[in-house]
Amino acid sequence: MNAILRGVRVIDPLGRLDAAGQDVWVDGGKILAIYHHIEAAGVPVVDLTPADGADACVLCPSFIDLHAHLRQPGDDEAETLESGSRAAAAGGYTHVVAMANTMPPIDTPERVAEARLAASNLPVSILQVAALTLGLEGVALVDIRRCIEAGAVALGDDGRNGVSPRQLAIALAETAHLSRAVFVHPEDEEMIAQANATQGPVTRSPIRPVATETRAVNLAIRALSHARTGNLHLQHLSCEGSVASLRRARHQGLAVSAEVTPHHLSMWVPVAEEPDPQALRKVNPPLRAERDRVALVQALREGLIEAVATDHAPHRAAEKALAYGDAAPGMIGLETALATCITIGGMGGEWLATLVERMTVGPYRILGPGSGIPEPRLRIGEAATCTLFDPAAEWTVGASPLQSRSRNTPLLGATLRGTVLLTMSGGHVIHRDPARVPVTSEQVGSA
C-alpha cells in the first residue's frame, strides 16, 4: 500500500503519542512518516480530515483479543478459523487468542501443535490457549510444560471452572516458571448446579446468581495467594462484587489481571425490548444490573480492569432458537466490539484513547512477552500492524453480511458508531473499506 492518510488522530499508547491533525504516509507496508502535513509527488492522498467539530478518524496499533471461541475443530458450521479470522480483521484485530474448549479440547501438546499448524496461514495471528485440565473436567492437570513448549500462550478451561483451588495453585506455580498466565472462567459450578436444581453439566443452566461469580473469583485469588507466585487472569468479569475483590487483591500486591467484554460494558437486564429469539442475550456469565455495568465501566477506565476481550462465541442458529433455558450461551463480538464500546459501553468521547489502550497494550501485557506478539506500536520505518477507524461513522449490525459464519448477537438491527476502515498486519492490508480508503488494487498489493 502506498498512500497518505490525511488528517487523522494518531494514538500510540506505548509511544505516549496522541496527536490530532496528522498525516500518515504508508508505503510498501511500512509507515514512512507521521507529520502534521505531508506532500509527496505522485502519492495518492486519502483525505480523512474531519469537518469542524467532528471526531477525527483514529490510526492506532491493531487490536489484540484475549478471548475468542473459533469452534475449530468440532463445529465448522458455527465458525472456522478462516471465517473467524475475517471477522477479526473486519473488527480491527490482528491477534486473537483462541480458547481450548473445542471438540476435542486442546488439552495435549499434540493438539496444541495441531491447532497452531491449522492457523498458520491465516491473515490474522491465532494464538492458542491450552486447556488447564484434561477434557476440561477439572480433575487432572494437563502436561503444562509440554503444552507451553508446543506453543500455548496461556492455560485455561474457559467455558468450565471445575478445577479445585489446590490444583489451581499448583498450576499457577508451574506456569510462573514458564512465563505464562492461567486464565480462569470465574463461575462456581457447584453453586450453579444448586441454583438450578440440576446435576451434570451446567453450561446451559440459566440461573447464575452474582454469588456464583464472586465466590469463584475469591477462590481463584486465594489459590494465587497460596501459590505465592504465578499470574492469574480473570475472564469476563460481570459484577460489582468481582470488581471489589479484584481491587483488594491488587492492594495486597497479587499478580492478578482481568478483562471485561463489550456486552457486559454495554448491556444489562432488564432490557427495554427482548431480542428474537430471547436467547440471543443469553451469555455466561449473564448480563446483570445497571450498577454492575457502571462498576465495570469505571474499573476499565481507571485501569483496574486492563483489557477488553470479546468472548466471541459463535453458535448455529438452531442452538439459539431453543427455549432460553436450553439454548447455548454466548454471542459473537469480533466485528462489533469497537462500536459497542464506543456507542453504549461508556468508552467513547474523552475515553477513546483509554479504550485504544485497553484493546492493545492491556492484552499485550497480560499475555506477556513470551506470547510472541510484537509490541503494539506505530514505528517509523517498520511494517505496519495497525487499525484505522472512524469513531463517528454509523453502521447497522447485520445490514451488510457479517464475516462470521454466525449471527448470534442481540445487536442485530442496532445502529452503532465506530467503523473500522483499514486493518494492516505486518505490512499487509487484511481489511479495507473501499469507499473510505479508495486506493487501487495495485497500491493495496504493494505491501
Report the 10 Å Cβ neighbour count for 215.
18
What DSSP line would sit under 313-347, residue for residue? ----HHHHSS-TTTSPP-B--TTTHHHHHHHTSS-
Quote the cell numbers at residue 317. 442458529
Q: How far is CA 20 from CA 17, 200, 237, 324, in A?
A: 10, 55, 33, 47
Query: 126 with 85: CB under 8 angstroms?
Result: yes
What DSSP line would sit under 224-239, residue for residue? HHHHTS--EEE-S--S
Q: Which alpha helices (H) appear in 144-209, and where do they start and end? A: 144-149, 165-176, 189-196
The CA distance from 159 to 144, in Å, is 19
H or E stretch at 355: helix 352-359
Among 402, 405, 411, 403, which residue's Cα sits nearest to residue 314? 405
Quickly tell me which residue has 439454548 as its cell: 327
The CA distance from 134 to 152, in Å, is 15
The CA distance from 320 to 277, in Å, is 7
Query: 83 with 405: CB under 8 angstroms?
Result: yes
Tell me, what amino acid is at 311? D
Quickly tell me which residue has 468450565 as its cell: 160
> Which of 65, 157, 311, 390 is labelled catalytic?
311
Looking only at the bridges linking them, the beta strands covering 256-260 and 307-308 are parallel
Query: 397 with 336: CB under 8 angstroms?
Result: yes
The CA distance from 78 to 80, in Å, is 7
Q: How far is CA 138 from CA 163, 188, 235, 370, in A?
A: 4, 12, 17, 26
The CA distance from 211 to 373, in Å, is 36
Among 344, 185, 149, which residue's Cα sits nearest to residue 259? 185
Residue 311 designated active-site: yes
Query: 266 with 341: CB under 8 angstroms?
Result: yes
Give the residue numbers annotated as catalytic, written as ranges. 311
